[in-house]
Structure 1
Amino acid sequence: MSASLLETVDINAPVSIAWALWSDVTKWPDFLSHVRSVEQVDDRRFTWQLRLAGADKNFVAELTEVIPEDRIAWRTVDGVSHAGVVTFHRLSDMTSRVTLQIEYDPKGFIEHLGALTNLDSVLANYDLGEFQKLAETTAAA
Structure 2
Amino acid sequence: MVQGTIRVDAPVRRVYDQWTQFEEFPRFMHGVAAVEQRDDRHLHWRTGIAGFRREFDAEIVDQVPDERIAWRSVGDGVRQRGVVTFTPLDATHTRVRVVLELEPEGLAERAASALGVVRSRVSGDLRRFKDFVEDRHAATGAWRGRLRPVGAGAPAGAAPGPAPPPPPGPPPS
Asked if these proteins are the same fold (TM beyond 0.5), I'd say yes
> Normalised by the size of structure 1, how large is the TM-score?
0.93
Kept after mapping to 1: 8 A contact 2:14/2:138? no
**Greater strand share, structure number:** 1
Kept after mapping to 2: 8 A contact 1:12/1:94? yes
Measured after TM superposition, the shift of residue 140 of structure 1 is 8.0
Measured after TM superposition, the shift of residue 139 of structure 1 is 3.5
Please list, as runs of the form range in 1=range in 2, the aligned pairs for 1:99-118 lying within 5 A after superposition.
99-118=97-116
> Normalised by the size of structure 2, how large is the TM-score?
0.76
2:51 is the alignment partner of 1:74: no
Aligned residues: 138
Percent of pairs identical after alignment? Answer: 34
Extract unaligned runs of 5+ from structure 2.
140-173
Q: Tell which structure's C-alpha radius of gyration is larger.
A: 2
2:27 is the alignment partner of 1:30: yes
Kept after mapping to 2: 8 A contact 1:29/1:35? yes
**Greater RCO structure (CA 8 Å; 6+ sep):** 1
Q: d(CA) in 1 for partners of 2:40 and 2:32? A: 20
Q: 2:57 aligns with which of 57, 60, 71?
A: 60
Q: Give a deviation string over 1:85-114, Cα, whole Å, max 9, x none.
A: 000000011111000010111111232112
2:17 is the alignment partner of 1:15: no
Q: d(CA) in 1 for partners of 2:31 and 2:95? A: 22
Q: 1:51 aligns with which of 48, 58, 76?
A: 48
Kept after mapping to 1: 8 A contact 2:29/2:125? yes
Partner of 2:86: 88
Q: Give a deviation string over 1:18-77, Cα, whole Å, max 9, x none.
A: 101101111111111111000012221110000112221000000000100100010000
**Greater helix share, structure number:** 1
Q: Runs (4+) of structure 1 moved beyond 4 Å? A: none
Which stretch shifts more, 16-25 or 60-69? 16-25
Q: What RMSD in Å do the two structures reach over aligned CA positions?
A: 1.4
